[in-house]
Amino acid sequence: MDMSQISPADQAKVQVMQEMEIEMMSDLYNRMTTACHKKCIPPRYSESELGKGEMVCIDRCVAKYLDIHEHIGKKLTAMSMQDAELMKNMTS
C-alpha cells in the first residue's frame, strides 16, 4: 500500500487502530495463558517439567480458546450489525 496517498489524519487513525489491535492481541494472549494454566496444570509442583498430558492439554486448550474467540467474534459482529440496523429503522 502506498502510504503517501493517504492523508496524515488517516495515517494517524490507521496507526492508532494498529496499536489497539496489538494491545488486544496481547490481552487475548495473557487471558488465554491464564485460562489454560488453570485448566491444564494441576497446582502440585513436584516437578518443573511439563508432563506429556499437560502438553497435549495446552495444545488443545490454545486451539479451542482461539476457536471460541472466533465464534464469539462472528456472533458479536452479527448481533451488533443487527442492532445498528434496528436503530436505523427506528429513527427513520
Partner 1 sequence: MEKTHEKIDINQLDKDQLKTFSDFLISYNRLTEMCFKDCVRDFTSHEVKETEVKCSLNCMEKYLKMNQRVSQRFQEFQMIANENAMAMLKKTGK
Q: How many residues bind partner 1, per CB under 8 A?
A: 21
Question: Which one, 12 or 87, has the nearer CB to partner 1?
Answer: 12
- Which of positions 22-81 make contact with partner 1 (CB under 8 A)? 29, 32-33, 36-37, 40-41, 43, 45-50, 54-55, 58-59, 62-63, 66
Phi, psi for residue 73 in degrees, rounded to 5: -60, -45
Instruction: Quote the least distance from Cβ 83 to partner 1, whole Å.
Output: 26
Instruction: Quote the least distance from Cβ 78 to partner 1, whole Å.
Output: 18
Provide CB contacts within 8 A for 14, sequence distance 6+: 6
Could you please report the per-residue DSSP string of 5-44? GS-HHHHHHHHHHHHHHHHHHHHHHHHHHHHHHHHHS-S-
C-alpha to C-alpha distance for 20 and 90, rounded to whole angstroms: 32
By CB under 8 A, residue 86 contacts partner 1: no
C-alpha cell at 2: 502506498
Q: Which residues bind partner 1 (CB under 8 A)?
A: 29, 32-33, 36-37, 40-41, 43, 45-50, 54-55, 58-59, 62-63, 66
